[in-house]
Amino acid sequence: MTKLLYFIIIVAFIDTFIQLPIITPYAVGLGASHVLTGAIVAVYSLTNMVGNILGGHWIDKYGRKRMLFTGMVSVTIILLLYPLAQSGYQLLAIRFLHGLAGGFLIPAAFAYVGDKTKEGAQGKTMAFTGAAIGLAAIIGPAIGGAMAARSKIEYVFLFVAILFVITSFLVLRYIEESFVSRDRGKVHMKHFIPLLKNPMLLQASLAAFAIMISNGTLAFALPLKVEAIGLDTSVTGALLSMFGIVAIIIFLTPINRIYDHMKPLTLVEIGIFLVGCSLLFLSYITTFWTGILAMIIYGTGFAFIFPSMNRMVAEGSTQMDRGKAYGIFYAAFSLGVVAGSSISGAISELFGIPFVFIAVIMFIACTSLFIGRMRQK
């Protein structure tokens, strides 16, 4: 069942990653302006935050399996709407719904993993989930780009819809419910207030926000940096793949024992510091090999952060509120995605130093976590 959960996580994240290379040309092909195309790209993450919060409450209220299945079926239907879009505004509406429905999936899957993981094994388990996401990040854009190049872009959405139909059947047939609350109340802010005061959840959410800001900066600024030093555009893909490969190696090899032998917050602090150093280094690279070294450092930092912050959410919540906890956590995740490319774009326009500026933000986040830990002691 745990292995099936890893497969479900891969499929859920492929839904996001497979669209990265195709959604902009698809929007432009439908006649969308640059402003509307930007909105089409961003609206998914914005509504995903709302889906995370609402889904978090319903995951605790109705159960992990039911909301996972509901999210899968909803996303399948929405994916089938993409080929029917006739204008940019129709695509915007579809992306709006897609982000909302997709917001249920990840908190439900991680709440289930948290429920099923034994005491003392959270770190290693979260490392395997990180590997599942890393695998999706590597194969998703490759499949999406290849399919779009060889056939119509619409076929990519149909392919993912078929994947979701298969996965929905597997969820319905093989996943057993791990927890259902007796509380049948409506969504209310009072349900989230205790979690918003939880130091471990707040620290994990800050880490999620920080790492996704850095990720958004990479997506925006790395192609510009590669072009500025006179390298081929294909180098950007190689550099981005390198950090994913490094992270997966750490997730799946005996190195992953570190997650169960070190405190998660300590690993998060080290990871954010390494990411900050990597971004600072990227600002000054002049060759392909210095870029590779910078991305190895970034991949190591990312690998330390991702399982550790997910473990913090699992350990800082109970079965009663784990869905809401992961809803808040992944809302911070989605907010970081939106903020990363927006902030780095503005800084690039004003000062021309996006990597340096975001590196400073990473160091500030690392310092804040360290000071918070010292105060707790």
**Is 129 in contact with 113 (CB distance < 8 Å)?**
yes
Whole-model pTM: value is: 0.80
Tell me, what's the pLDDT at 153?
A: 82
pLDDT confidence bin for 206, thresholds 50/70/90: very high
Over range 46-62, report the average pLDDT: 85
Q: What is the pLDDT of the chain when averaged over all its residues?
A: 84
Residues sharing a CB contact under 8 Å with residue 299, sequence separation 6 or more, in sequence order: 242, 243, 244, 245, 246, 247, 250
List, for residues 21-45, the tens digit of each pLDDT value. Answer: 788 788 888 998 877 887 887 888 8
Cα–chain center distance at 302: 12
Highest mean pLDDT among 89-98, 109-118, 198-207: 89-98
pLDDT value at 348 more than 80: no
Q: 98 versus 231: which is more confidently predicted?
A: 98
Length of the chain counted residue by residue: 377
Residue 312, helix vs strand vs coil: helix
Determine the average pLDDT of the residues in 205-214. 91
- What average pLDDT score do residues 275-299 get? 92
Which has more confidence, 258 or 141? 258
pLDDT > 90: percent of the chain:
28
Local confidence band at 230 (pLDDT 50, 70, 90 cut-offs): confident
- What's the rounded Cα separation, in Å, for the pair 172 and 139? 26
Q: What average pLDDT does this structure show over 269-287?
A: 93
| Contact call for residues 23 and 15 (beta carbons, < 8 A) | no
Q: How confident is the model at residue 192 (pLDDT cuts 50, 70, 90)?
A: low
Q: What angle do CA 18, 20, 26 make, to 5 degrees?
A: 100
Number of other CB atoms surrounding residue 261 within 10 Å:
8
What confidence score (pLDDT) does residue 2 get? 67
Does 183 score more than 70 pLDDT?
no
pLDDT above 70 as % of the chain: 92
Examine the pLDDT at 1 and tell me if it is beyond 80.
Answer: no
Query: What is the pLDDT averaged over residues 335-343?
Result: 80
CA distance 270 to 304: 7
- The one-letter code for the residue type at 165 is V
Q: Quote the pLDDT of residue 234.
A: 67
Judged against a pLDDT cut of 80, whether residue 342 lies above it is answered with no
**pLDDT level of residue 352 (50, 70, 90 thresholds):** confident
Give me the pLDDT at residue 199, please.
86
- Among residues 332, 206, 218, 330, the alpha carbon closest in space to that of 271 is found at 206
Q: Is the pLDDT of residue 149 over 80?
A: no
| Residues 145, 205: Cα–Cα separation, whole Å | 32
Q: Is the pLDDT of residue 219 over 80?
A: no
Instruction: Tell which wins on pLDDT, 348 or 167.
Output: 167
Q: What is the DSSP letter of 229?
A: T
